[in-house]
Amino acid sequence: MEKSKVMQNEKFGEKNFQYIIGNLLRYGVWTSLSVAFIGGIVYLFGHSTDIENYSVFHENDRNIFEVISAVYNGAIQGNGESLIFVGIILLFLTPVLRVLLSLFSFLLEKDYLYVGITLIVIVIILISVSFGFSH
């Protein structure tokens, strides 16, 4: 009886965030794997007899908003390539969301050293994504 009162009065704390972050990573990876796998199956059903020419590579120089728009429209239509790309985007976003949740956790704990470090990591991610799509 005494233990349940203590647990009811406990604040939302570090253990809760660790649990949420752990589940985010676990379910994020499984979700991205499932979406990419389904996209691969859909793609193979539609393109099982295609022969790819790997001797020529064409690089698309589109900005990130065009790519995301095309992927979104393709995924809505059930395009296998777009579903694979959505799986890859989800796989990329999983650790990014983990960093954002960590930032929120450090802010609640008022641990400003780690808030600063986490903000640096977020800036590095934003810069690398920005320059990766705009060469």
Q: Tell me the per-residue pLDDT of 12-66, one tens digit each, with 9 for 90 and over.
A: 666 787 888 889 899 999 999 999 999 999 999 988 788 877 788 777 777 778 8
From first CA to last CA, the distance across the chain in angstroms is 63
pLDDT value of residue 19: 87
pLDDT value of residue 1: 47
Instruction: Check pLDDT > 70 for residue 4.
Output: no
Cα distance between residue 10 and residue 65, in whole Å: 44
> Which runs of E-coded beta strand occur in the chain?
none
Cα distance between residue 98 and residue 114, in whole Å: 14
CA 29 to chain centre: 8
Cα distance between residue 89 and residue 133, in whole Å: 14
Instruction: Check pLDDT > 90 for residue 73.
Output: yes
Domain ranges of the chain: 17-45+62-132
Instruction: Check pLDDT > 60 for residue 135.
Output: no
Cα distance between residue 85 and residue 94, in whole Å: 14
